[in-house]
Amino acid sequence: MAHTLIHHEDLLVFTQQVMMKMGVSKANAFCVADNLVASNLRGIDSHGVGRLKRYVEGIKTGYIVPDAEPVIEKETLVIASINAMNGLGQPAGVFGIKKAIEKASNTGVGIVTVFDSNHYGFAGYYAMMALEHDLIGISMTNSEPLVVPTFSRNAMIGTNPIAFAAPTKSERSWVMDLATSVVPSGKLEVYDRTRKKIPLGWATDETGHSTDDPAQVLKNLYRGLGEGGIFPLGGEGELHGGHKGYGLATMVDVLCGVLSGGNYLRDLKFFKEGKPSHPRIGHFFMALDPSYFIDIDSFKTRMDDMIVRLKNAERAEGQGRIFVHGEKEFEEQDQREEKGIPLDDKTIESLIGFSEEFSIDLKFIESN
């Protein structure tokens, strides 16, 4: 598949302008654009500007309220409950993590739930915002049911990601951002577009058994019946720990859905009976100040020590390098900031469509 490069600054401006054309405020449009482009910069293209179409269509169909602003429903010195008012997930997410950071800076810990929200992009974006304040950041969200519980044959739970970021001194920050499923749904779509079989153990068909046919899995998931789905982290059954991924996904739904007052499991839908429906997605944010436990300089020095020791661990035969979480993404960001962000044909087609629809200039890097 061919790729075209675009400078991240130009992509940010373009994406923000598209959202503003949809009735989103300049500040909230920036939240969406910055999240999407940051995802592309870090090589997480499944959550990058290819998702812009999803938000535009969500506003057009009515399940996303473009001019909604998050509202604090409950608040103490340590916790807050925020109503996203069925608006875009990114502005609600930024509002939520900033509130958690504010509370952690004052009391050592801040815990915030958000309900009645929408897809908020990639989870690590919010956890990493805490790093600027020498805080540990945690971010989670539930999502539409695409994952089957262990030993089930019907999707019940979302891919429900967990992100955790810890500050360091000299090493790059330790940033973990992972789905609680074997793979995200976007990876199945890539295999389907390229007509490749998926590895057994990634997903199940409508009978509850592992399949290598991505088209069948996607058809089952998105035709509204919720049959089949992606396996939880660890894969099919319990042999390789699939029940642990199932438990982690459920934990995220407890914190993001049950605790927040939002939807969870199969109640979380963008369409019901063929009509647009507010999914009422929930998020969970936590910021923690290490200095309440240990001197902050000592904490960051110890984090450096941990990272260096992990990277210098004895390598398995034939392996050239050991990575720590976030390292590959930071290196990818360095490359893409310098050379530009590569976009696949489908994403380019979508962006050109928005450029024509809204009369917004779209600048690609000219090839030599």
Domains of the chain, each with CATH number or no CATH: 1-61+336-368 (1.10.1530.10), 67-182+231-312 (3.30.1370.60), 184-228 (3.30.60.50)
- pLDDT tens digits, residue range 71-95? 999 999 999 999 999 999 999 999 9
Read off φ and ψ for residue 271, nearest 5 degrees: -140, 135
Residue 207 near residue 151, CB atoms below 8 Å: no
Comparing 189 with 115, the larger pLDDT belongs to 115
20: its two tokens: 């503003």
What pLDDT was estimated at residue 339?
96
What pLDDT was estimated at residue 74?
97
What pLDDT was estimated at residue 344?
87
Largest CA distance in the chain: 58
Distance, in Å, from the CA atom of 255 to the CA atom of 252, rounded to the nearest integer, reads: 5
Q: How confident is the model at residue 226 (pLDDT cuts 50, 70, 90)?
A: low
Q: How confident is the model at residue 1 (pLDDT cuts 50, 70, 90)?
A: very low
**pLDDT at residue 224 greater than cutoff 60:** no
Q: How confident is the model at residue 206 (pLDDT cuts 50, 70, 90)?
A: confident
What pLDDT was estimated at residue 2?
55
Task: Provide the whole-model pTM.
Answer: 0.94
**pLDDT at residue 222 greater than cutoff 90:** no
- pLDDT tens digits, residue range 339-353? 999 998 889 999 999
**pLDDT at residue 368 greater than cutoff 50:** no
- pLDDT tens digits, residue range 266-309? 999 898 877 889 999 999 999 999 999 999 999 999 999 999 99
Share of the chain above pLDDT 70, in %: 98
- pLDDT tens digits, residue range 169-202? 999 999 999 999 998 887 887 788 778 999 998 9
Angle at 4 between CA 338 and CA 12, to 5 degrees: 60
What pLDDT was estimated at residue 286?
98
- pLDDT tens digits, residue range 3-25? 689 999 999 999 999 999 999 99
In the predicted model, what is the mean pLDDT of the chain?
94
